[in-house]
Structure 1
Amino acid sequence: MQAPESRVVVRGSERQPLPDALPAHAPALDERLEVTVRVRPKNDPASLLATSPFADQLPAERTYLTREQLDEQLGADPHDLTQVHAFAHAHGLAVVHTDAARRSVVLAGTAAAMGAAFGTELQHYHSPGGTYRGRTGVLTVPAPLGDIVQGVFGLDDRPQAEPHFQVRPGRGPGAIVAHAASAAFTPPQLAQLYQFPAGLDGAGQTIAIIELGGGFKPQDLKTYFAGLGLPAPTVKVVSVGGARNQPTNANSADGEVLLDIEVAAAVAPRAKIVVYFAANTSQGFLNAITQAIHDKTNKPSIISISWGGPESTWTSQALDQFNQAFQSAALLGVTVCCAAGDNGSADGVSDGQPHADFPASSPYALACGGTKLVASGPSISSEVVWNEGPDSATGGGISAYFPVPDYQQQLTLPAAAKPGRGLPDVAGDADPNTGYQVRVDGQDLVIGGTSAVAPLWAGLLALLNQKLPRPVGFLNPLLYGSLIGKNATRDITSGTNGAYAAGPGWDACTGWGSPRGAALLAALQGGSRPAA
C-alpha cells in the first residue's frame, strides 16, 4: 500500500469568496483550465537590490542589469522546474509552457485534476458582479515543492482589478480643440503647465501599458492625434494568455485603454507604445507584468499600470509575486508607474477604515495620486488634492502589508494600525472636472482619475530617458533622497482624500506633488533649477 503523500501549504494562498458571493455549482469534471505556477528565484531580488549601488544615485551613476543578466541571476533553477514538471505529470496535468526567466510554468488540466493536484475544491460562484470560478482556504503541494512553489494563479478567475478612470458627468461628444479655453486639458497642455522639458519627444523609448480588458480602434488614434497636430503613435499589441484588443463602446474599459495610449503618446509622441492585453484575473495581471518586464523584443523602460484594487482583496502570494516582479524591473532600470486609486482613502471598501490600493502600494512602484488643477493661460493658478466625494477622490494612505521601505524611513508617516509603505509618491491632474480631453470609440470625452496620472508620468519619464545617459529606473529613492529641495515637484499643501490631509512636503494624498518636468530633468542630471 502506497504511503499518503505528505503535503505543505503554499504560503499566502488563502482565498475567501467575494462578498455576497454564493456557491452555484461545481465545475464540470472535464472543464479545462490553465494555471501559472511561480517558482522561487535563484537569488533573492531584495538582497540583489540591497547590494546594488543605485539606492540614491543619479541615473548617470547607476548600473543596471541587462535582461540576460537578470535571467541568469533571478531566473528559476532548472532543477526546480524539473520537479514542477514531474509533479504535473504525476497528477495528470500537461506542461503548456515553461519560462525560466519569468520563473513560471503554465499547467493545463481538468478542474478535477487541478483540484486534486493543489488540494482544493473548485466551485462556481454567483456574485453581484457576475459568475466566477473560485476556491476557499489554502492550496497545498507535495512537501518537496514547499520551498520551490511561491504562488499558484488561475484556479480562481474572479475579476481582480478595477480601471482607475472616471468620465466627467454630462460630457458628450464634442470636438477636440488643441487650445481649448475650458476646464479640461489636452495632454500637451498639461505637459506645458507642468513644464515638461522642451525639445524632447520620447524618441528611442518604449512605454509598456498593461490593460485587463477593452481595446482601441486605430481610427480613433488617427483622428485624435490629427486634432492635436501630432503624428499618430506607433502602437504594438501583445496578447497575453489569449487576451486580445477588443474595443466595444465608450462605456467600457475602452475608456481606460484609449486614455492610457493617448496621454502617454501625446506627451511623448515619438515613443513606441506596447499594449499588453491580459485577462482581468490575478493570473492574467501578473503574467502581463512579467511578460512586459522580460520582453527582450520590445524592451520597455517604463511600464504604466492604471488598474488596481484594495490590498485586502489580494492574496499575499499575489502581493509578493507582483512585488518581486517590480524588484526585477528596478534592477533593469524600468520604472513602473501605478495609479493610486480613485475612491479616496477608503479605496472603495465600506468598513470605515482606510485602505491602500495595490499594485501602487508596492514599495517598488511609483504610486501616482491625483490633484484638481486650475490654469490661467500657460500657468497653474491653483492645484489641490482631488476630492469630489468618497468615490471621486485620489487614493493614498499606508500599506497594511508592505513595511516602511528604507527610502521612507526619515518621513513622519500618518498613524496606522501598523507602520507601512506610504503612498502615493507623486501626483498629477486627475479630477474629471479638470480632466483630459480624449477620444474613445468615436466620441470625444473628458476623463479623469489617477488612471490618467500614471501614463502622464510614463510619458514624462520617456522624455527624461531620452535625454539622460541611462534610464531613470527606480525613481523612489531619489524622490525621498537627493531630489528633496531641488524643486523637482510642485508641493500640494491643500485638501484631503478622506482620512489623510495634504501639507508641506510628502503627504498621503499627493506624495511629493505634481511634476516640474524641466527642473526634474535638471536635478536628475545633477543640477537644480530655481523655484518658478
Structure 2
Amino acid sequence: MQRGLRVVDPGSRLEGEKLTGAVKLMAALTLEGPTRSFEGVEHLEGVVHVLRTARVLPAMHAPAYQRRAQAGAGAPASSNHSARQVAELYAYPAPAHCLPGEGQCLGLIEMAGTYSTQDIAHYFETFAPMPVITHVPAGEGPKEPNYTFDVHITMDVELAGTICPGAKIVLYNRHSQDFAIQDLYRVMATAIFDTQNQPSVLSVAWCAPEGADASISEAEEAALNELLVKAALLGITICAPSGDFGSMNPVHASEKQGLPLLVMGPVTCYPAASPLVLACGGTKLIAEGGRIREEVVWNQLAQRWSIEDERGHVVYSGLGGASGGGVSLLNSLPAYQEGLDVPEAVTMTARGTVVQPLERHRGRGIPDIAASADLLHGYHIHFNGQWGSGGATSAASPMLAGLIVRLNQMLGRRLGFINPFLYELQREKKNLFRTTEQGSNGGYDARPGEVWNPCTGLGSPIGENILQALEVLYE
C-alpha cells in the first residue's frame, strides 16, 4: 500500500476494495492531485469499485519495427542504437555491485501475440545477460501468431530485459481475439493483483483512441481508471505509449481492398490519457561520441510506410508516425499539470461563413515524458531471424519503465504514482529532464523555454538527476 493508505477489506478483483487513509492521499489518487488543500474531515473510508464492460475496441499502432537487409549471417545495423547505449545517453543509474533491476519485477501488458525463443536467445547473446522471463496468462485464448503483436512482444522483452537484466520480466498476455475492453481489464487486473510476482512497474504495449467509434467511451475509461487507482495504492507505476500518429488518431477504422482505412481526428490515446499513467512520448535521438548531439520531436508523418510480414503480406500501409500528444477530451486537467501551458481542446463550428468555438475543454495533457522512438535511428531488435530497427512510442514505454525499475532498486522503495513528483521537481528546475525545444507532432510544437509541451511532455530523462532529486525528497 502506498503513502499511508491501506486496504481494510480486499474484496474481490472485480468488486472493489475498502480503503482507509488520509483524505489528501485518497484525493491525490482520484485525480485531484497531492498539492490541493482540503477542509473538513481528515480521514475517511470508502469502496473503490469497478464497472464491467464487454465493448470491442481497436488497437492502434504505427509501425514499430523495420527490417534491415544484412549481408551474410547479419549483424545489427550501425545506424541504430542498442537499448543499453540509449540508457547510458539518458544517464540511467546503475548499481555498483549487482545487475540493474535485481530484486525487482517488471510486468509487460500484452493483448495478443507471442515471441520466438530463438530470436530472444540470439538477441541476448549479443547485447545483455538473459533475464528471467515468466509467463502469466490472463485468459484461455489460443497462442496464435499475430505479426503486429509478435513484433511488440519481442521488442518489449528485448528492450526491458536489456535495461533491467537482473529483474524478473513477467509477460501478462490475454491472447485476445476480439480486443474487448473486458480483455484489457482482465489482463491489467491479473498483473496488478499478481501476489506471486508483485510487479512494481507495468509497461503497456497497447493504446487506442478515446471516444472513437468502437473504442473507449467516457464510462469505460472511468471503470478502467478505478483499476489504475488500485495499482497506485499498491505502489505500481504504469507506463503506456502516448500513441504513434502525432496530434491525430484514428477515430474510425474500416477496410478497403483488405487494407485498414483510417479516419483521423484530434483525440488522445488511452491508457496514456489517464492522469494515473506515466504517458510516454517519442523523440528522434542523434548521438556522437557517447553524447547526445541532437534530440527533437519524433515526426515521420511526411513519410509513407508499408510494412510486410515474412510472407510478403502488407500488414500496414500509411503514415510513418510521430510522437502522440495533445489534450484528453475525457480526462480533466490534473492538479500536477496546473499552471503549465497545456492548451485547451477547442471544438469549432461553422454556420455559413461564420466560424466560432463551440466548446472549450481543459483536459489532461499528454505525454508526460519521452524517449527515443525514431525508427530510422531506432533500437536494435532481433525478430523473425533478422536484425531490424525497433521504435515508436511502443518502444519508449518499456525503456522508461526500465528507468523506473532501476530507480525503485536504487531507492529501495516503490515509486508508484510518480507523476506529481516529476512535475513538481522539474518546475523547481531540478534539471530532471532534457526539454525538447525543436519539432512538431503535427498539431503542436516544441518551443524553447517551456517546462512541458504536447509533443514530448517534460522531455527525455536525465536518470542520475532524477535519482538524486528523489533521494533528497525521500530523506
Structure 2 length-normalised TM: 0.78
Amino acid at match of 1:152: T
Q: CA deviation at 1:353?
A: 4.0
Q: CA deviation at 1:287?
A: 0.5
1:424 equivalent in structure 2: 367
1:440 aligns with 2:383: yes
1:265 aligns with 2:164: no
Q: CA deviation at 1:329?
A: 1.2
Q: CA deviation at 1:502?
A: 0.8
Measure the CA separation in 2 of the matches of 1:286 and 1:46: 28
1:518 aligns with 2:458: no
1:375 aligns with 2:293: no
Residues 434-469 of structure 1: per-residue CA shift (max 9 Å, x gap): 111111132211121000000001111111111103
Amino acid at match of 1:289: M
Provide the secondary structure at the position in 1 that maps to 2:425: coil
2:5 equivalent in structure 1: none
Amino acid at match of 2:417: F
1:494 aligns with 2:438: yes
Q: CA deviation at 1:235?
A: 0.8
Q: CA deviation at 1:282?
A: 1.0
Q: Is the 8 A contact 1:369 1:424 kept in 2?
A: yes
Query: Of the candidates 172, 176, 181, which is equivalent to residue 69 of structure 2?
Result: 172
Q: Is the 8 A contact 2:105 2:197 kept in 1?
A: yes
Residues 375-403 of structure 1: per-residue CA shift (max 9 Å, x gap): 10200101000111163111010000000
2:92 equivalent in structure 1: 196
Provide the secondary structure at the position in 1 that maps to 2:331: coil
Q: CA deviation at 1:38?
A: 4.9
Q: CA deviation at 1:39?
A: 4.2
Q: Is the 8 A contact 1:163 1:306 kept in 2?
A: no
Cα gap change, 1:448/1:285 in structure 2, threshold over 3 Å: closer, same or farther?
A: same
1:184 aligns with 2:80: yes
Measure the CA separation in 1 of the matches of 2:46 and 2:107: 23
Q: CA deviation at 1:412?
A: 2.3
1:397 aligns with 2:311: no
Amino acid at match of 2:283: T
Measure the CA separation in 2 of the matches of 1:208 and 1:395: 23
Residues 88-121 of structure 1: per-residue CA shift (max 9 Å, x gap): xxxxxxxxxxxxxxx6xxxxxxxxxxxxxxxxxx
Measure the CA separation in 2 of the matches of 1:192 and 1:380: 10
Q: CA deviation at 1:55?
A: 6.0
Cα gap change, 1:75/1:492 in structure 2, threshold over 3 Å: closer, same or farther?
A: closer
Q: CA deviation at 1:215?
A: 0.4
Query: Of the candidates 399, 408, 413, which is equivalent to residue 470 of structure 1?
Result: 413
Q: How do 1:109-508 and structure 2 match up within 5 A?
A: 150-153=51-54, 156=55, 158-163=56-61, 165-168=63-66, 171-172=68-69, 182-199=78-95, 201-228=100-127, 230-243=128-141, 245-247=143-145, 251-278=147-174, 279=176, 280-312=179-211, 313-349=215-251, 353-389=265-301, 391=319, 392-417=321-346, 418-484=361-427, 485-503=429-447, 504-508=450-454
Q: CA deviation at 1:297?
A: 0.7
Q: Is the 8 A contact 2:81 2:380 kept in 1?
A: yes
Cα gap change, 1:51/1:500 in structure 2, threshold over 3 Å: closer, same or farther?
A: closer
Cα gap change, 1:352/1:46 in structure 2, threshold over 3 Å: closer, same or farther?
A: farther
Measure the CA separation in 2 of the matches of 1:225 and 1:416: 44
Q: Is the 8 A contact 1:165 1:450 kept in 2?
A: no
Q: Is the 8 A contact 1:408 1:480 kept in 2?
A: yes
Measure the CA separation in 1 of the matches of 2:92 and 2:461: 8
Of all paired residues, the percent bearing the same amino acid is 37
Q: CA deviation at 1:267?
A: 0.6
Measure the CA separation in 2 of the matches of 1:333 and 1:40: 17
Q: CA deviation at 1:284?
A: 0.9
Q: Is the 8 A contact 2:236 2:414 kept in 1?
A: yes
Structure 2: which 5+ residue stretches go unaligned?
1-11, 36-44, 252-261, 303-318, 347-360
* Range with bigger deviation, 482-491 or 459-468: 482-491
Q: Is the 8 A contact 2:249 2:264 kept in 1?
A: no
Residues 188-229 of structure 1: per-residue CA shift (max 9 Å, x gap): 01111111113351001101101111101222211111111x
Residues 479-501 of structure 1: per-residue CA shift (max 9 Å, x gap): 21134311111110101101111
Q: Is the 8 A contact 1:183 1:374 kept in 2?
A: no
Q: CA deviation at 1:269?
A: 0.5
Cα gap change, 1:37/1:481 in structure 2, threshold over 3 Å: closer, same or farther?
A: closer
Q: How many residues align?
A: 398
Larger strand proportion, structure 1 or 2? 2
Q: Is the 8 A contact 2:94 2:406 kept in 1?
A: no
Measure the CA separation in 2 of the matches of 1:385 and 1:416: 21
Provide the secondary structure at the position in 1 that maps to 2:339: coil
Q: Which structure would you say has the larger RCO, counting Cα contacts within 8 Å and 6 or more residues apart?
A: 2
Which has the higher Rg, Structure 1 or Structure 2? Answer: 1
Q: Is the 8 A contact 2:249 2:267 kept in 1?
A: yes
Amino acid at match of 1:269: P
Q: CA deviation at 1:415?
A: 2.6
2:27 equivalent in structure 1: 50
Measure the CA separation in 1 of the matches of 2:341 and 2:281: 19
Measure the CA separation in 2 of the matches of 1:320 and 1:193: 38
Q: Is the 8 A contact 1:237 1:245 kept in 2?
A: no
Structure 1: which 5+ residue stretches go unaligned?
1-35, 58-71, 77-102, 104-149
Measure the CA separation in 1 of the matches of 2:336 and 2:468: 21
Cα gap change, 1:486/1:342 in structure 2, threshold over 3 Å: closer, same or farther?
A: same
Residues 148-178 of structure 1: per-residue CA shift (max 9 Å, x gap): xx3332xx4x35323455223x623577758
Measure the CA separation in 2 of the matches of 1:297 and 1:163: 31
Measure the CA separation in 2 of the matches of 1:444 and 1:414: 41
Residues 477-532 of structure 1: per-residue CA shift (max 9 Å, x gap): 0121134311111110101101111123200000000111111111111189xxxx
Structure 1 length-normalised TM: 0.70
